[in-house]
Amino acid sequence: MIEDNDKNKRIAKNTFYLYIRMLFSMVISLYTSRVVLNTLGVEDFGIYNVVAGVISMFSFLNTSMSGAVSRFFAYEIGTNNWKHLQNTFSSALTIHLIIALLLMLLSETLGLWFLQNKLVIPENRILAANIIYQFSIFTSMIAIIQVPYVAMIMAYERMSVYACIEIINVLLKLVIVILLIYITFDKLIIYGLLLLISTLMISVIYGTYCIRKIDSCRFCLLGDKKLIYSMFTFSGWDLYGNASVLARTQGVNILLNMFFGAVLNAASGIASQIQTAVMSFAGSVLSAVRPQMIKSYAVGDYNRMINLIYKSSMYTSILLLLFTIPLLIETDFILTLWLSEVPIYAGILCRYVLLFNLFANLSSVVVSAIHATGKIKRPSLINGTFYLSVIPFAYIAFYVGSQPQLAYIYNIFAVLAGLLSNVWTLHLYIPCFSFKQYAWLVLCRTVCVGSLTFFATYFFSKLFDAGWTRLICVGLFSTILLLVTTYFILMTNRERKLLKLRLL
């Protein structure tokens, strides 16, 4: 019990560090996004988003390997197998070097052909698009090689270090935006170059810290061949799922470009930035919980693991609702405050990605638990099929003249189906994890809390005209009501008693 309390305190402390980083990043990112959009213009901003998206299409292997690396590092730390941990690091870095080279090969062949022949880019911006495409390739390669170092820091739960480095990263992006205002040369090209330089600097910082402070970060070329095979086997089953997620995201972005032009990519880019900013609240908690979830499974402590699943699912959902509800109601006003020129469809796309976030967050928690077991074949195949189905649906919908938001609506149903599939799969892998109990403790009660708060706040907002007064009142009302409904509906009797003791 004492050991569990210490672990819970560590989660709380690490969550605090990650929240400091996240809040700082969010404030700066909201400002930089506005300035970048204003400085580049809607068309160039849309071009950058869709060109960078082509590179992202080829990074799905890295996404799969990132999950494998994090899982293997945390598992070895949980079993205190330090020698094997060092071999795991060498193997992981070798794999990521190979992935970086594969990314360059695919990007310079298939990706370059796609950029020059399929994307809708104004003729006078084709040269700039090709230049930033090259910058994006090298930026992505550096980010790929950096993954094992970041994963090692997270596996050791040194969130304060991670938070500090990421704050430096955000400050560098702020400097880039300020420079962008005063530069007279082609701003789109300069933006891509400066992002490449900042990514390189952050990667050097991560690598230097790990080499100096973590003994396990000692690289041996090629590493352990058997371990490399084991990692590839693990990630191989995850590959289909991650490739499908990427196809769903970037595929819709490319279809928007093909059917509606770069202006819709600007709206999609704004929606994606809001989605990332809001999800970072839940992501901070999950990043702090995930290593302990894997370590608990490694030592056979299933009760603690399941408890972490329930609690992290419920309270990350509440954190999301805390920001999602006011944003859903005040989307148009907030976008007007944030952006001097709001791209068409930005408001409605933002609302749909906010709803998508709620189910995607719950699914992420359950997927983290499934990854701890190492059995990812079934969920990857099932979820990947759900996610991949968004692409043909969106294509057909756009082809017959449907509105762009229809793809986002279908996306919500796909992630909900994936969530239910993940919960059932985890029950099959860990029988003491109950599907019915999860459905009641997490899904039903969270939906109840969210629905009550949203509808009450929505009707309350009708008492005011749009403006600062309504925004502030909606924010305060929804926060208070959400906390009250959480206390009476979501919290257990034991949790309510503990809360009273700490407050009194």
In angstroms, rounded to a whole number, what is the distance separating the alpha carbons of residues 334 and 328? 10
In angstroms, rounded to a whole number, what is the distance separating the alpha carbons of residues 250 and 252? 5
Find which of 54-63, 219-228, 263-272, 355-364 is predicted with most confidence, using mean pLDDT.
355-364
C-alpha to C-alpha distances, 484 to 299, 321, 407, 490, nearest whole angstrom: 37, 13, 35, 10
Confidence of residue 62 (pLDDT cuts 50, 70, 90): low
Q: Is the pLDDT of residue 490 over 80?
A: yes
Q: Which of 340, 275, 328 is nearest to 457 (CA)?
A: 328
Per residue in 381-390, pLDDT tens?
Answer: 898 889 889 8
pLDDT of 475: 93
Confidence of residue 5 (pLDDT cuts 50, 70, 90): low
DSSP of 407-453, one letter per residue?
HHHHHHHHHHHHHHHHHHHHHHHSTTS-HHHHIIIIIIHHHHHHHHH
Q: Is the pLDDT of residue 259 over 80?
A: yes
pLDDT of 56: 62
- Comparison of pLDDT for 212 and 278, the residue scoring more: 212
Average pLDDT over residues 229-254: 77
Confidence of residue 65 (pLDDT cuts 50, 70, 90): low
In angstroms, rounded to a whole number, what is the distance separating the alpha carbons of residues 341 and 207? 40
Q: Is the pLDDT of residue 335 over 80?
A: yes
Could you state, in order of their start, the residue ranges of all structural domains in the chain?
15-433
Per residue in 336-370, pLDDT tens?
Answer: 888 877 888 888 999 999 999 999 999 989 998 99
Q: Which helix (H) or strand (E) holds 142?
A: helix 126-155
Find which of 126-140, 169-183, 422-436 is predicted with most confidence, using mean pLDDT.
422-436
pLDDT of 287: 80
pLDDT of 133: 87
Per residue in 71-92, pLDDT tens?
Answer: 888 888 887 777 788 888 888 8
Confidence of residue 278 (pLDDT cuts 50, 70, 90): confident
pLDDT of 57: 57
Ramachandran sector of residue 41 (left: φ over 0; alpha: ψ -120 to 50; beta: rest)? left
Q: Is the pLDDT of residue 67 over 80?
A: no
Confidence of residue 55 (pLDDT cuts 50, 70, 90): low
pLDDT of 53: 66
- Comparison of pLDDT for 331 and 41, the residue scoring more: 331
Average pLDDT over residues 321-327: 92
Average pLDDT of the chain?
A: 85
Average pLDDT over residues 267-287: 80
pLDDT of 359: 93
Q: Where are the alpha helices (DSSP H) in 58-81?
A: 60-78
pLDDT of 117: 84
Q: Is the pLDDT of residue 66 over 70?
A: no
In angstroms, rounded to a whole number, what is the distance separating the alpha carbons of residues 146 and 158? 16
pLDDT of 498: 80
Name the percent of the chain lying above pLDDT 70. 94
Q: Is the pLDDT of residue 7 over 90?
A: no
- Comparison of pLDDT for 366 and 402, the residue scoring more: 366
- Comparison of pLDDT for 287 and 179, the residue scoring more: 179
Q: Is the pLDDT of residue 304 over 60?
A: yes
